[in-house]
Amino acid sequence: MLNIYIADTAALSEESVFWDYMDKVDETRQEKVWQCRNGEDRKRSLLAGYLIQVGMKNLISQGNGAQEDAVPLALAYTYGENGKPFFKDYDEIYFSLSHSGHYVTGVFSNHEVGIDVQKHRGMQYDMAGRFFAEEDKSLLERLGEENSNDNFYRMWAVKESYMKLTGEGMRQGLDATVVEPDGEGLHCGRVRRKDGKTENAFFTVSDILEKYSMAVCSYDKLADIHIKEVEIG
């Protein structure tokens, strides 16, 4: 099972709503919010914390009557060798967070997982040419110009979701992996690590958000995926 949650930071623009949601996250997240230097980052951090609460409560209750706005769970974290966070007291639950533009996303699963969302900001031919593997550049060319902008951001989201999965982040490099889709387009397939240091992974891409690409990666085959847009306010 894999649950994905999406929330829009625009709903936190009203001060009263912002403070209301501060009461819905635990003290550790509240501290993280206030460590952010500007208002937009605070809203993203707050929504990330709220999605953690929603995702965890639903998994713990297995979707049976979870009270998303009940008293916040007090969550403790531990970290992998590359700094990837895990729940200290729930070692059977894995999560990953991402944000871009005014959306925050979170994924929760019983398998290791990574998520990334990318806002489409215009075609970045120079970035693809400089940072993607040769195999990826050839794939984008084969997919054609008609959807080249969408395919670029799909590929970027897939690569960063794999970085979230491994916990290595940008230290890994965008050219360290090759995206190998199943069938036509960049909707699902595999991510192959060129140096063989970590396992290959499976990916799926969702275009549920207009002008955004959202990708999820896991070492296990992706199935039973549920996506929910969380209403804020």
**pLDDT digits over 122-133, tens only?**
766 677 777 889
Q: What type of residue sits at position 92?
A: E
The alpha helices in 61-110, defined as continuous H runs, are: none
On whether the pTM is more than 0.85, the answer is yes
Instruction: Give pLDDT, residue 144.
Output: 85
Query: What percent of the chain shows pLDDT beyond 70?
Result: 94
Q: If we measure between CA atoms, which residue out of 40, 166, 182, 57 comes closest to residue 112?
A: 166
Handedness of CA 189, 5, 211, 173 (dihedral sign): negative
The pLDDT score that the predictor gives to residue 83 is: 85
Averaged over 45-52, what is the pLDDT? 97
pLDDT at 172: 80
For 192-210, the pLDDT digits (tens) are 998 877 778 999 999 999 9
**Does the structure show a pLDDT above 90 at 36?**
yes
What b-and-e string marks burial along 156-195, b requiring 16 or more CB atoms within 10 Å of the CB? Answer: bbbbbbbbbbbbbeeebebbbbbbebeeeebebbbbbbee
Instruction: Identify residue 184 by its one-letter amino acid code.
Output: E
Q: Is the pLDDT of residue 145 over 70?
A: yes
Q: What is the phi/psi pair of residue 140, to 5°?
A: -60, -40
DSSP string, 123-171: --HHHHHHHS-HHHHHHHHHH-STTHHHHHHHHHHHHHHHHHHHT-GGG
- When pLDDT is cut at 50, 70 and 90, the band that residue 149 belongs to is confident
Q: Residue 169 — pLDDT band, cuts 50, 70, 90?
A: confident
Mean pLDDT of 139-162: 91
Mean of all residue pLDDT scores within the chain: 90
Q: Which domains does the chain have, with CATH numbers?
A: 2-115 (3.90.470.20), 117-220 (3.90.470.20)
pLDDT tens profile 55-90 = 999 988 765 555 566 688 989 999 988 889 999 999
